[in-house]
Structure 1
């Protein structure tokens, strides 16, 4: 990221840097769901705490305060080691991720990360948790739709 780009980001302009030009929402294998998890990210042996904003079985979007990391991922694809804590599970999920793109604004640095490698048991835990969140969100949306259609409720 150039000094001009950093200046634009400080002014509130959103800057996106693609590490992989094919990294677009259309290229995703599975739909992401809103999911806020505390994630520990290790880059070049430096730990950083992030918050996930959404996730799927194959990828996750991480957000952290701007300036929390020294070097952005815009020079080349970067591998990151991730530790995810899934509510209701004692085991910490470990995964190797590949940063596909970075997004900067005045306050936050976000990264789209493809989950490249993880133990099959960890992938199953993540997949099941995301499926539960999808069902929970769809059930809530269905209840809201029914309530709008029949404001008097069940008789």
Structure 2
């Protein structure tokens, strides 16, 4: 039985209790992309500004990727998508077939690494914020007045 093509289809997300503009700045940094997927060459084909980035992917995998930022509550949810096939060594744009077990190992290893990097981003951006505290201090509330004293 010959191996069938198996696509890596990774989806992950993390909530960051940080101003969405700060999250956007962080994910627009190419150094973060390299930490996220060091064996992939990501080329931006759509910069969506505060909503994130879309990439073409070559290297160990060939396909597409997206980092989508969604404002949520007092922070943002960073959604990460990777849809790609394994490539031939030395041919970073040519897909190759993986056996199902190999594809499962690739996807699991990549999924765990992605989750670790999302949590590193969360730890760095939320540094100094105690759990349960809002991402941004609420505006001062007017104090109740009982009239002139």
The higher-RCO structure (CA 8 Å, 6+ apart) is 2
Asked if these proteins are the same fold (TM beyond 0.5), I'd say no
TM-score (norm 2): 0.30
Bigger Rg, structure 1 or 2 = 2
